[in-house]
Structure 1
Amino acid sequence: MGLLVANGSCIAQTSVTPYGILDIGVRPLWGMSANNAPVPSSYSTSLASGVDQTSVWGIKAQESLGGGWKALVRLEGGVNGDTGTSAKSDRLFDRHAWIALGSPYGTVALGRQPNLISDQLMLVDPLGKRFASFNPDINIAGLSNTKFGAHSFGTQYGPSGYADNFYRLDNTIKYSADVGPWQARAAYSAGEVAGNASAMSSHGVALAYQQDAWAVSGATMQLRSREDLALDAWSLGAALKLASWQFKTNFARNHADTGIAKTVSQRVSSVGVSRAIGHGLLVTAAWYGVRRAATGWRDDGFNRAFLYVEKTLGPRTTAYLEADTTTWLADAAGQTAGQPNDRHGSGLTLGLKQKF
């Protein structure tokens, strides 16, 4: 009998939760390919994954250690719902793979984790981090995909494992603490380059202040390449609620040394509004402007606008209609087989999202 009671106590203090999201939609495209890159003027139809929310699967675990202390684990991988493949073919858990110790004084997490700008954007991105593969706050401000047009950073900064994608970092130590309305974070990622502790490393801090009706959130980071070239990035945004309306805006900039006397600088401005209408209906509109200056290239960038209409069908199921349009500036549209791509691209998605 005593063993059964002890076992029940352990179960009550420990939890392991598998979870996932599957989001798939039918997506007609004009002037863009299935991966949303500009192409010579054309029309096509594709099946897209993760337009409303990224398709993922994962496991969360937590164990109470007493006295306000707890151990946490999270493993999460991206999924291409349209093909059933992993988002990253070289990693099972490309999004999260960390263990943490939580206490009344904050939480320390060790492993592969999103960078601090990703954390900062949770409160203030106008789209609420929807459409991660096409959202400029995630791609450009958050450093998830800095490659577009005729030029890119072309190298890896920080221990992300990929060139032009530094949104999640290996070997990361992240400290986070909530003190009243304040949320503070600091992180360091080890580059693990023999003989050079600075190369491929990253470090930064983030701070947010959140009330019921408004929030301000900012982060700054520095990342290094294997050649010890610096990439400096910062992001600052705000959110405001007025009755059933919500307004969000964010401004971000990054500057990278890409070689001897060579640099790339990028800026992102974004603004958006959302409104709940009736029962379970949410409408969101957002605009993003991206500008880039790179040594040896014309200044370029793009403007992108989104409209979302989401209908909650059940506690875990959402249907949605999404529309987007992009205008690439200067040489940002690039070329395909020597032929200039269309400077304007549009997409429309009718999708269904299920959380489990």
Structure 2
Amino acid sequence: MRPRHTLALLLAASGTCLAQDGNALYGIADLGIRYVDNLGANNAPTAGGALPTVSSGVNKTSRWGLRGQESFGNGWQALYRLEGGLNLDTGSSAKSDKLFDRQAWVGLKTPLGSVYLGRQANLISDALSTVDPLGIRYASFNPNVNITGMSNTAFGRQAFGQQYGTSGYADNFYRLDNTVKVTANLGPVVARAAYSFGEAAGATSPLSTWGAGLTYQHEGVAVSGAAMRLRNRDNRVLDAASLGAACQLNDWQFKANAGYHRADTGAGQTVHQRVLSGGVSRQLMPDLLLTTAYYQVRRATTGRVNDGFQRAFAYLEKSLSPRTTVYLESDYTLWRGDAAGVTGTRANDRHGLGLTVGLMEKF
């Protein structure tokens, strides 16, 4: 069956779902006019020059999905979610090989906690959602999503260049297939544990992943962290960890996070990555929010020059309604070492600037 026919059938089926209690079609449409200098349309560093673009997901990632639940009484529920990313500027799916690349799971919720089975975000992603200074805005360019959460670990002239865990992609381990995730609600604390089956023929360890996380939230204070171990096909290990905090003081909110990776990439070859981030947001008016954030990324690789980058963001968001937001965004990147890479034989510029005016609609 052709992909467009599959999508048509799913949308038709969603009409039936929407007629039933507890099922819904939902999504986010986020598109902006973006001006970049010394960056390409995909925000990779270039050898210089300005470029106007139309970009999807500069605030929140454009997506669509189906979700639902059925209650059994006494706090028990069956749940499901199917969610795929969209490139709104071209109308294409975020991943050409997966219709529901973001989430595809079923779950069971109880008074004590929940269990979910299927393709899900990793535990570090869950931990970051509470303490990332940008609130997971601009996921494709946010260093906590890319590096700490492992959605795009390659930059400059270096990359892991191989798959760890069951994401299906090299250098992208933010979401994992074949995952069993368990959560337990302990008052102000949510505890999480997850295991992803590697499903490699003849062995249980290659491509498998396990980890645990804790999030504490009470009276405007949050502390959230997670640790994971991922393996590649050769059973080499990638260890990842994240720990952060958030504090709400009247109209001010402060967030900070630290992320760390250590990956065995070959015989005697390792990569160490560190991400430090902090930010402040201020509710200027009931419908006007200012958010600022700063990220510092450092990478050390066996046999290579240490590199990394610094990146700062500012967002001004105006809510026109509960579903509609207009926003202004700016970002500035300073590359370190040879992280900017080259274009042909010419070194790319070490400085990158982006400015966006955008509209986000939730449905």
The answer on whether the counterparts of 1:13 and 1:64 sit within 8 Å (CA) in structure 2 is: no
Where do residues 19-98 of structure 1 align in structure 2 (5 Å cutoff)?
19-98=26-105
Identify which of 134, 149, 172 aligns with 2:179: 172
**Map 1:275-286 → 2, pairs under 5 A:** 275-286=282-293
Question: Displacement, 1:213?
Answer: 1.4
Cα offset, 1:278, TM superposition: 1.7
The corresponding residue for 1:255 is 262
Equivalent-residue separation in structure 1 for 2:22 and 2:161 (angstroms)? 42
SS in 1 for 2:147: helix
Stretch deviating more after TM superposition (62-71 or 170-179): 62-71
Instruction: Confirm whether residue 140 of structure 1 aligns to residue 147 of structure 2.
Output: yes
How many Å separate the matches in 2 of 1:21 and 1:103?
29
Q: Which residue of 2 aligns with 1:290?
A: 297
Aligned to 1:232: 239
Give, in whole Å, the separation in 2 of the partners of 1:351 and 1:338. Answer: 35
Query: What whole-Å deviation, never above 9, does each CA across 1:108-143 have from its counterpart, x for those lacking one?
Result: 100000000000001100000000000000000000
Runs of 4+ in 1 over 3 A off after TM superposition: 11-14
Cα offset for 1:68? 1.7
Partner of 1:150: 157
Alpha-carbon distance in 2 for matches of 1:175, 1:279: 36
SS in 1 for 2:129: helix
CA distance in 2, matches of 1:172, 1:333: 35
SS in 2 for 1:146: coil
- Report the CA distance between 1:295 and its aligned residue: 1.1
Classify the secondary structure of the residue corresponding to 2:23: strand
User: Aligned partners of 1:32, 1:79: CA distance in 2, in Å?
Assistant: 22
String of CA shifts for 1:157-196, please: whole Å, max 9, x gaps: 0000000000000000000121210011000000001121
Check conservation: 1:14, 1:64, Cα contact below 8 A: no
Once the two structures are TM-superposed, the CA of residue 212 in structure 1 deviates from its matched residue by 2.2
1:13 Cα deviation after fit: 9.0
1:12 and 1:328 map into 2 onto residues whose CA distance is 52
1:123 counterpart (116, 125, 130): 130
Partner of 2:166: 159
Distance 2:259 2:242 in 1: 4
Quote how far apart the aligned CAs of 1:203 are.
0.3
Amino acid in structure 2 at the alignment position of 1:282: L
Q: Deviations over 1:62-104 (max 9, x none)?
A: 0012222110000000000101100000000000000001111
**Which residue number corresponds to residue 243 of structure 1?**
250
* CA shift for structure 1 position 337: 1.2
In the alignment, the residues of structure 2 paired with residue 210 and residue 224 of structure 1 have an alpha-carbon distance, to the nearest angstrom, of: 31
Aligned mates of 1:216, 1:110 — CA distance in 2: 26
1:197 paired with 2:204, answer yes
Q: 1:214 to 1:12 in 2, by over 3 A?
A: farther
| Residue 3 (structure 1) aligns with | none
Which residue in 1 is equivalent to 2:7? Answer: none
CA-CA distance at 1:279 after TM superposition:
2.9
TM-score (norm 1): 0.96
Q: 1:337 aligns with which of 323, 337, 344?
A: 344
Give, in whole Å, the separation in 2 of the partners of 1:45 and 1:14: 45
Aligned equivalents of 1:212, 1:168: Cα separation in 2 = 31
State, as a whole percentage, how many aligned pairs show the same letter: 59
Whole-Å separation in 2 of the counterparts to 1:278 and 1:117 = 32
What one-letter code is carried by the residue in structure 2 that aligns with 1:251? A
Q: Which residue of 2 aligns with 1:272?
A: 279
Other structure's SS at 2:130 match: helix
Alpha-carbon contact 1:253-1:265 (below 8 Å) kept: yes
Distance 1:330 1:99, change over 3 A: same
| Superposition RMSD in Å | 1.1
Asked if 1:302 corresponds to 2:315, the answer is no
1:259-284: CA deviation from partner (whole Å, max 9, x where unpaired): 00001110000000000012300000
CA drift of 1:105 comes to: 2.2
Match of 2:15 in 1: none
- What residue number does 2:334 align with? 327
Instruction: Say which of 106, 117, 121 aligns to 2:113.
Output: 106
Matching of residue 186 in structure 1 with residue 193 in structure 2: yes
Alpha-carbon distance in structure 1 between the residues aligned to 2:161 and 2:250: 45
Structure 2 residue identity aligned to 1:293: A
- Residue of structure 1 in register with 2:217 after alignment: 210
